Structure 1
Amino acid sequence: MTKQYYLKENVFINPLVNSWYAWPYLLPPVTFAMYASKTHKRLMNSFVNNSEIHIMASQNSELVGGEFVDCSLEQVEEVKQLLANLDEQLPFLQEIANAVDKLNSMLMQHNTGLCIEALYEQIPEPLKGYVELNMDLYHQPSFRLIEGLLYKGPYYRKDLQSISFGLLNEDYKRPFIFNTPILPQSNNLLVQASFDSDIWDDVFSARTTPLTEEKIRTLFEDRLLKGGLSVEELFTEEAPSKRHQKVASGVKFTYTGHAGLLIESPDVSVLVDPIIPSRIQSNHNDVVSFSELPDYIDYVLITHNHSDHVQFETLLQLRHKIGKVIVPTNNGGSLADPSLKLILQNLNFNVVAVEDMEEIELVGGRIIALPFLGEHGDLNIRSKSAWFVEIAGKSIFVGADSVNLESALYRQIKEYVGNIDVLAIGMECVGAPYTWCYGALTTSTVSKEIKESRRLNGSDFDKVRVMLDIFKPNQMFIYALGIEPWFRYFMGLEYTENSEQLIQTNMMLNYCRDRGVSIELLEGKYSEFIE
């Protein structure tokens, strides 16, 4: 009998773009150029010049998430080579970033309000044919990127994409991923293949459907493989320890970790902001891992374009079983607001972009895209949506990091959808300055006062309390706080009892319990049928 092999449960992956962990702003060509030229280059130069300081800082748990490259002294030469490649092999990245700076400077000087058409001749060469110039109703000039065309041109370099495989240890130890290039080492295996390649659907289906040794060999042969792990070490004859249990009746609500929520009826499954952890012995009963998800996921809903809600690491592993991905529409070419639809379409997902209050019919229900305010540092970003999921007679409001900046909005929504059964909302009420996420896209210095004023804050107790009073849910869930230790590699958070996020959350827990409202702070693994 031919032996069958599963992908090991403790295998994890790092999708990479030019050796850096892939998040949504590293896929669109222009934003990738901005981050590579400004953030990546700055961090690597600092490491090369001050490697011992970076190494010491990376060993301090209190500094996780800071601007310290977590590489060793032995890797200094490899980091130098990455820097050299940016200048010698990928000079177009710096050229694009410089062109954006020049274009912004040129437009800021056009303050007469007169016709802008003559400025097309002055568009820097790397952006010619890829931008449209415009004026708003108050005569302020701007530009939009022609995003679809950029993906068809030479700036979208799929050959820079790869995936690094690793085996998760019992201490969950993975370096913080956004400040460090991920280089081939003895404990990983880098496989050169673009994200849209069919190879990944076959490899990741082996989470639940085994492959033969011959099939595995065929998938990986003729690929550029680097690192100390072998392909054979990623697979096992042992089947997954847990399997998905199909819902026979009612509506099942499952928390899959951080911002991930799975809503199931006998007829349909909806997964929101999926982030699925690998399973090891110490978290065996504390996580929902890949083998416990449905064999087919009808819809994946994305709330917004932040790296802890659009995680390619998980999405690529689920692509083979996803029907459609539903995303909020974007501003149409804004530098700070790239199209989620185009990003995911170029990764071979079936994607639908929706407007505020647009509805999608389900078997026995509907999905409504709800307005999402706040958490983006006051930037004009439309790629954000809360979701109303009505299924088998139950209604669920999934708010993620949206903020109640205007209570009248929720009263208007309430008039349309009525009371709800479940309110799920994040309470990461103290976020980083907006420049932590968007700083590389700015072309002028941002003052400390502005940084401190415009933070990526979620809702606090007072804001959520008003939402509770408006919607009158039977159950309430607080989630997306980044509490779980196995997610620290991308959240960079370590809470204490004095953390404002937990203080505000505890106020909400007590408020609900005093009023007889069922409430849970979701952490680890949670599943129940909605009453």
Structure 2
Amino acid sequence: MSQKYYLRESVYVEPLVNNWYAWPNLLSPFQYALYMNKTHLRLMKSFANNHELHIMANENKTIAGGGEFVDCKAEQLEDVKSLINKFETDDALFGELADALKSLNAMLKQHVSGESLEPLYKQVPDLLKGYVELVMDSNHNPSFRVIEGLVYQSEYYRKDLQSVSLGVLNEEMERPFVLSTPRLPDTDHIHISEPFDSEFWDTLFKTRTQPISKQEIEALFEGKQCTGGLNIFELFTTEAPAGSAQEIEATSVKYIGHAGLLLQTQNVSILVDPVVANITSKNREQAIGFAQLPEKIDYICLTHNHSDHVNLETLLQLRHKTSRILVPKNNGGSLLDPSLKMILRQLKFDVIEIDDLEVIDVPDGSITGIPFLGEHGDLNIRSKTGWLFQLNGKKIYAGADSSNLEPIMYEKLSAYFGELDLMAIGMECVGAPFTWLYGALFTEAVPRNIKESRRLNGSSFETASQITNALKPKNVWIYALGLEPWYNYFMGLDYSDDSEQIVQSMQMVEFCQAQGIPVERLCGKSEIKF
């Protein structure tokens, strides 16, 4: 019998768009054009002009935070310059597209009369003609709607820009921060130029738990365009992954890391915002890896379009075992709020949009979309929802980064669905200015006072305690505080005991304890069985 090989638990996967770590907005062509020009090019040109400063800053974590320094080595300087040249030549269409979006916004800003927009269609930049609808809001302010379905059928959606970088963690190394640095082939990685919708990835990621032979590995990689110094067989091991999914005898809710939950009954398995850890000896006892998940995922429920909640590297690795993804209802065509449904359908997922208080029946119960306020800098973004799970008579609310901007709403919700058995909510109460995430999508500079006023804040102690009083949960979980070091590659946080997030979440723990409510500030594994 020939030996069988598993993909190592320590293999980490970085999906890339034009060598940059992929998150949903980079898959949307118009949004990608703006991020490429306003963020990626700016960072790379800064590195090319003064790479010594970037290298020095990355050696000091207190300076490097915030993603403004490229974490490349001096010997990669020419590779960065080559990527800049590629952006400005082979991919120059995206620069032109970004300029067209800026021109369209400038033209609409000048239209202050409130009169018909129909004559302006002739002035729409050629690159955008046929892909936008000019619209007015109820105050007669002009804007435009992107016809997203058509854009994905155009030359602007470039699957040839998609690739995946694979590396292997060891006990001494940590994954570098992913959002500030292009990924360039080197001796420690292998880059595979294969679009995200390819069945190749499903076959590869199945080997996390279903081993294949050496001959099958060779056949899988035959003809694939691979760069970098890592040999494909370094990705594999004959050692089976530790642990396996357990039989479920009751309704179970497991915390799987960051903001991720796994809900199971005997008849259904549901993941919420999964970000699955790569397992090494350092985190094996604390973290849940891919091998510990069920063989089949019936539903993945996503709360909002931020990269730590819609985590493409995890979703791609789960696609082969996932039946359906539920996402929040979208505005439709907003540059600031691209459709999650349409993005994920490009990746061959079966996706359903759920509106506020819309219910979908599932085995042993139902899933309901719950209004999500806050954490988006007052932008008109609909792609956000909490989730209420009613399974075998138990009620579990996953509130993600919701903030209690309107207490009366939660009182009305409590009257609607009654007391909860578990409330899980994030408390990232001091978020970055909204421009950290959305600034590239604004075609004019945002004044400093606006940036500082409108931040990506989740719940504080005050707002989280108000939600608790309104919803009356029997158990409370506080999560997504960046306490798990194996997620630093996307969190980039280094809290101290006096950090506001830690102080206020501790206040929340003390508040719940005083109320007699079992409470846990999550880090690593946790489970409640009902």
Same-fold status (TM-score > 0.5): yes
Could you tell me which residue of structure 2 aligns to residue 258 of structure 1? 258
Give the deviation of 1:172 after TM superposition. Answer: 4.6
CA contact (8 A) 2:265 2:364 kept: no
- After superposition, where does 1:285-364 map in structure 2 within 5 Å? 285-364=285-364
Q: For 1:307 and 1:96, how far apart are their aligned partners in 2? A: 24
Is the alpha carbon distance of 1:53 and 1:196 closer, same or farther for their aligned partners in structure 2, counting shifts above 3 Å?
A: same
CA distance in 2: counterparts of 1:21 and 1:315, whole angstroms = 14
For 1:471 and 1:310, how far apart are their aligned partners in 2?
Answer: 26
Distance in 2 (CA, whole Å) between partners of 1:431 and 1:419 is 30
Per-residue deviation, 1:64:
3.0
CA–CA distance in structure 2, aligned partners of residues 514 and 197 of structure 1:
53
Task: Name the stretch that deviates more: 197-206 or 216-225.
Answer: 216-225
Q: Does the Cα contact within 8 Å between 1:304 and 1:310 map onto a contact in 2? A: yes
Separation in structure 2 between the aligned mates of residue 20 and residue 132 of structure 1, nearest angstrom: 30
Indicate the percent of aligned positions where both proteins have the same amino acid: 51
DSSP-derived class of the 1:283 partner: coil
Q: Which residue of 2 aligns with 1:40?
A: 40
**1:22-421 alignment runs, 5 A limit:** 22-62=22-62, 63-248=64-249, 250-421=250-421
For residue 319 of structure 2, give the secondary structure of its aligned residue in structure 1: helix
Q: How far apart, CA to CA, are the structure 1 residues paired with 2:306 and 2:282? A: 29
CA distance, structure 1, for counterparts of residue 482 and residue 273 of structure 2: 13
Q: CA deviation at 1:246?
A: 1.9
Q: Secondary structure at the match of 1:338?
A: coil
CA–CA distance in 2 between the matches of 1:246 and 1:345? 31
Is the 8 Å Cα contact of residues 172 and 486 (structure 1) preserved in structure 2? no
Matches of 1:264 and 1:246, distance apart in 2? 10
Tell me which residue corresponds to 1:498. 498
Distance 1:359 1:52 in 2: 55
| Residue identity matched to 1:384 | K
SS in 2 for 1:142: strand
- Tell me the equivalent position of 2:458: 458
CA distance in 2: counterparts of 1:90 and 1:405, whole angstroms: 42
SS of the residue corresponding to residue 369 of structure 1 reads strand
1:64 and 1:176 in contact (8 A); partners too? no
CA displacement at 1:525 relative to structure 2: 1.4
Aligned partners of 1:505, 1:156: CA distance in 2, in Å? 42
Letter in 2 for 1:150: V
3-state SS, counterpart of residue 78 of structure 1? helix
Hey, what's the Cα distance between the residues in 1 that align with 2:189 and 2:378? 40
Query: Which residue type is aligned with residue 181 of structure 2?
Result: T
Q: How far off its partner does 1:515 sit?
A: 1.8
Q: Could you tell me whether the CA contact under 8 Å between 1:33 and 1:93 is conserved in 2?
A: yes
Match of 1:399, SS state, is strand
SS in 2 for 1:5: strand
1:459-498 CA deviation, whole Å, 9 max, x = no partner?
1111111111111111000001121111111011011011
Asked if the contact 1:478/1:505 (under 8 Å) is kept, the reply is yes
Q: Please give the secondary structure, in 1, of the residue aligned with 2:404.
A: coil
In the TM superposition, what is the alpha-carbon distance from 1:219 to its structure 2 partner?
1.3
Write out per-residue CA displacement over residues 153-178 of structure 1, whole angstroms, 9 at most, x where no aligned residue. 10000000000000012145111111
Task: Provide the C-alpha distance between the structure 2 equivalents of 1:158 and 1:184, rounded to a whole number of angstroms.
Answer: 19
TM-score w.r.t. length of structure 1? 0.99
Contact 1:65 1:176 in 2 (8 A): no
What SS does structure 2 have at the residue aligned with 1:152?
coil
Give 1:192's aligned amino acid. Answer: S
CA distance in structure 1 between the partners assigned to 2:172 and 2:118 by the alignment: 59
Q: Which 5+ residue runs of structure 2 have no aligned equivalent?
A: none
Q: Deviations over 1:362-413 (max 9, x none)?
A: 1111000000000000000000000000101110010000111001111111
CA RMSD of aligned residues (A): 0.8
Deviations 1:291-332 (A, max 9, x none): 000000110000000011011110000000001000002110
Gaps of 5+ in 1: none
SS of the residue 1:408 aligns to: helix
**CA distance in 2: counterparts of 1:450 and 1:473, whole angstroms:** 36
Distance in 2, Cα, partners of 1:2 & 1:329: 49
Q: CA deviation at 1:514?
A: 1.4
TM-score by length of 2: 0.99
Q: Distance in 2 between matches of 1:467 and 1:319?
A: 34
How many residues are treated as equivalent by the alignment? 529
CA distance in 2, matches of 1:363, 1:223: 41
Contact 2:14 2:313 in 1 (8 A): yes
Amino acid at match of 2:347: L
Secondary structure of the 2:376 match is: coil
Secondary structure (helix, strand or coil) at the match of 2:400 reads coil
Q: Which amino acid aligns with 1:236?
A: T
The answer on whether the counterparts of 2:16 and 2:165 sit within 8 Å (CA) in structure 1 is: yes
CA displacement 1:111-154 (0-9 Å, x = unmatched): 01111101000001111110000111211100000001100110
Residue type at the aligned position of 1:19: N
The 8 Å contact of residues 145 and 333 in structure 1, kept in 2 or not, is answered as yes
Is this contact kept in 2: 1:172–1:485, CA < 8 A?
no
Give the aligned residue type for 2:353.
A
Letter in 2 for 1:94: G
Q: Distance in 1 between matches of 2:466 and 2:218?
A: 57
Q: Equivalent residue of 1:487, what SS?
A: helix
- Preserved contact between residue 163 and residue 195 of structure 2 (Cα < 8 Å): yes
Matches of 2:18 and 2:507, distance apart in 1: 44
Aligned residue for 1:462, secondary structure, equals helix
Contact map agreement 1:144 1:335 (CA 8 A) in 2: yes
- Distance in 1 between residues matched to 2:293 and 2:80, nearest whole Å: 38
